[in-house]
Structure 1
Amino acid sequence: MLRKYFITGLLILVPLAITFWVINSVIGTMDQSLLLLPPEWRPENLLGRHIPGVGTILTLLIIFLTGLLTRNYVGNYVVAGWESLLNRIPIVNSIYSSVKQVSDTLFSSDGNAFRTAVMVQYPREGMWTIAFVTGAPSQQVQQHLTGDYVSLYVPTTPNPTSGFFLMVPKADVIELDMSVDVALKHIVSMGVVAPENHSATKH
């Protein structure tokens, strides 16, 4: 009986603890943006104490203003000049261009990356896992492949931020009728949180 109560308590408190830990980590990281302000403008000097979350608001405001300012001709000109400068710096240019390509793919409203959850046989035939379509192989890679292929990201469990990149025949991929959020919950929970009954079709 005591074991049953203990497990019930764990099931309630562990998700709450992890949630608060993640939120606290995110807020703590975003609060570092306060270092951009002059010392006399920071909350600990103005109000006499540190207030968690002020940096988060500042970070969101900076992101919003950056997006607002770069939506016009002058802003686009400044961004183009900044990117041109970064592209001339060795090492920095390769890191920046790679990160920018990934972010453009993931956050672009018209992009297809991580928009589709699929099933694929991995790591061997007869074993299935959930993956996400990230696009198609590059032209240079495609010329060495026979047939139509798709690029997939196979996340690990319970940490979906690490995983494997695969290029598989499109005919071997089964598209799932579930959202990416639902598929991620299924992966993170190691199959404990089952998605609703949906149909699956060939991709």
Structure 2
Amino acid sequence: MTNADVAQGRPKDPRVDAALITAAIEVLTESGWASFTTTAVAKRAGASTASLYRRWPSKQALAGAVARHIAQAELTGIDTGGVEGDVRELLARKRRILETATGPALLSLMGQASHDPELRQILHDDVYLAVRGELGALVDRGVARGELARAVGEAQLDVLALVLIGTALARSVFVRADDGEAAETELRLLLAAITLA
């Protein structure tokens, strides 16, 4: 073993990372932010708190890893070949987030964010910017294919991302069952906003 190996420590095992993220989602889903502790997450994952702290030095940093995991797994890499298909897929993925275990975990983080500036910044960077970036890429592809006459301005893109996130949150709180007609209306309104922007 070289001095460099000793200085860097043992390499991180990606299986432990995945187990800790899964445990974090489960703890958030079951107990919310108030009971979301690094100890509870490490115990659920069958890992030591030391291994958790080597990856994420705080509860907020772990929450950021959860938000990044959800955003990267569900909100990126959409390209169906057309604007309507892309928007439909983005909305479907948004609904899927809220219908699985990740939904309550993300809602718990968002509920706490107004009281925690560090968590608010994490969610801005890892959720809001992911949604905004995916919308921007979707529009750019539509312009390049000639489906859209022009790109959406920065201010319009900001608002469209907020609307997309906001309708997801409102639906999870106010609408119990998935309403196919409401989902189709959301799709049409978002497409109209993109086309007219």
Aligning the two structures, in what range does the TM-score lie when normalised by the shorter sequence?
A: under 0.3
Larger Rg: 1
Please identify which structure carries the higher helix content: 2
